[in-house]
Amino acid sequence: DAKTTQPPSMDCAEGRAANLPCNHSTISGNEYVYWYRQIHSQGPQYIIHGLKNNETNEMASLIITEDRKSSTLILPHATLRDTAVYYCIVRSRGGATNKLIFGTGTLLAVQP
């Protein structure tokens, strides 16, 4: 699976949009971009995933560049409860296993 690069940490003011970038320049055509987050001492939580089109759900929006070499996760109105480590992971679907390989992620600190 392709590697991803994320900034180690980011700050965001409460109520503002949080934009978390991810570089995945070696992504291949059948690999999806997945985002998870992990609040301290809890299991990771699925946020969103996409292939090439932008995606939106009740939690966030995912913007994938046209060349698919990078993406941005957008939390439209960050709250203090969004403080967590956010992981961007690329992997293919439908293989014999669909294991996720976690990198170091981005620690998002939402400030009051």
Partner 1 sequence: GAVVSQHPSRVICKSGTSVKIECRSLDFQATTMFWYRQFPKQSLMLMATSNEGSKATYEQGVEKDKFLINHASLTLSTLTVTSAHPEDSSFYICSASRQDRRRDTQYFGPGTRLTVL
Q: Given the rule CB under 8 A, which residues bind partner 1?
A: 34, 36, 38, 41-46, 49, 87, 93-94, 97-105
Residue 60 CB coordination number (10 Å): 19
- Between residues 1 and 17, which has the closer beta carbon with respect to partner 1? 1
- Least CB distance from residue 28 to partner 1, whole Å? 16
Lookup: tokens for 105:
């992620």
- Least CB distance from residue 105 to partner 1, whole Å? 6
CA 99 to CA 8: how far, in whole Å?
23
CA 31 to CA 42: how far, in whole Å?
27
- Least CB distance from residue 107 to partner 1, whole Å? 10
